Amino acid sequence: MFPKKSVILFVAGWMLLALVALPAHASAASSLDPSTVAIDTFPVFENQVSVRQAHIAWLAAKEEAGMQATIAYIASVNGSTTTLAIILGNFRQSQAALGTADTHAALDTVQQDFRRITLAFREESAARIKTLHGNPAVLPPSVQSAVTASVRVRSLEDQYWQTRTTSELAAFDLRAEQAQTLLAALRSNDYEITAAQEKLTEISTMRNALATALNSRDDTGIEQAHKKIHNASLGFVQAVRLIRLDASQDTNLRQTIEQGSAVMTRAGRINTELKSRGLGISAPAQFVSTGTAQLAAAAAQLDNGKPEDARATLLQFRSTVQSLRDAYRSVLVKEDLPRTTAQEILSVAQSLDITAARMLAL
């Protein structure tokens, strides 16, 4: 029986290069916050419509050449080719539709048509050869010879590789440029980017190997280049994630300092009012002074790139906050205060309690 062979119409899925998705506002260095940077893997070697369209056109041309060779063989042994010619005409109509398929959905439809028509041609040609008692072993070499000799097939093959090479290298350059822009913005905001920059530089040096493999149409070399770029880019993603983690920790510490400063300011106002009433406030005043100094020290340590020192200082500040809270509670118990003043002291004491509780997460 005639061997069943059908064209495989597909487009290879590209390797994914994991890089950083540059947010729209990242060019504004003054507002960049790594804790809000979206990090994900996404395809640099995208299965773009133009590349996929060129690939399908090339494969379809090979199939068309094979169909013509099959019809010629069956005609040479006096077989009927009327139905095969009609099927070939349908195939060519789908080829024409391919030229206007400008979305992946449209290309999917064309591919489905190609597969359906190819199957019909295969079944009809097998039936014709079986009826004629032809030699099926003769056909494959004839088909291969026709494909090899086709000027159109070679032209579409060249067009596919040119489109793919241009597309992949342009996508690579774009992603690398976006990543470099992000790192520059992070650096301008005083974030440490050395590890991420080293990884991006490593990835950039891999472009030559990718370009060489594409230009030589070396599928194995292309796959190897994709894998190397992908693996290196995972390291880049991790490096930027660490920047984001550091930025998140930095943000938490700064928020703690801001919250602490706000509650110290309220405590200072209460102390001023208590002093105006002739009440002894030496303990609360000392705690406010100590706490304010601790916050200033933590802020300086953070500015100098010493988050662990800042965290340790803030833990000392937490003890000061608790002592100040207890001092205010003592004032409430011992002193006969106007209701509004007592309520304000109670409110500050509660704020101090909340601040101390939140700092447990440091």
pLDDT, tens only, 228-239: 998 888 888 888
Residues 293-309 have pLDDT tens digits of: 999 999 999 888 888 89
What local confidence, expressed as pLDDT, does residue 245 receive? 63
The pLDDT, as a whole number, for residue 330 is: 85
Q: Is the predicted pLDDT of residue 1 greater than 80, yes or no?
A: no
Residue of higher predicted confidence among 24 and 254: 254
pLDDT at residue 331, rounded to an integer: 82
Mean pLDDT within 337-355 = 83
Residue 303 vs residue 23, higher pLDDT:
303
The token duo for 257 is 């300092």
In the structure encoding, which two tokens stand for residue 139, read together? 């056909």
Please report the pLDDT score of residue 160 as a whole number: 96
Residue with token string 């705690």: 287
Q: Find the mean pLDDT for residues 13-19.
A: 22
Instruction: With cut-offs at 50, 70 and 90, classify the pLDDT of residue 45.
Output: low
| 231: nearest Cα among 22, 19, 21, 47 | 19
* Whether this model's pTM surpasses 0.75: no
Question: Which neighbouring-strand residues pair with 40?
Answer: 19
Residue 253's pLDDT band (boundaries 50, 70, 90)? Answer: confident
pLDDT in tens, 265-290: 988 888 888 787 777 778 888 999 99
- Residue 184 reports pLDDT greater than 70: yes
Burial class (CB in 10 A: 0-12, 13-18, 19+), 58: buried
Give the phi and the psi of residue 189 in degrees, each rounded to 5.
-100, 15
- At residue 190's C-alpha, the angle toward residues 263 and 27, to 5°, is 105
- Would you state the pLDDT for residue 178? 87
Q: Are 320 and 287 in contact (CB under 8 A)?
A: yes
* Inter-residue contact 231 to 201 (CB < 8 Å): no
Q: What is the pLDDT, as a whole number, of residue 150?
A: 95
Asked whether the predicted pLDDT for residue 168 surpasses 80, the reply is: yes
Q: pLDDT at residue 334 above 60?
A: yes
96-146: per-residue pLDDT in tens?
999 999 999 999 999 999 999 999 999 999 898 888 876 777 888 989 999
> pLDDT value at position 40?
42
Q: What is the mean pLDDT of the chain?
A: 81
Q: Compute the average pLDDT of residues 28-44.
A: 41
Residues sharing a CB contact under 8 Å with residue 354, sequence separation 6 or more, in sequence order: none
CATH class held by domain 248-361: mainly alpha
Report the pLDDT value the prediction gives residue 131, as an integer from 0 to 100: 85
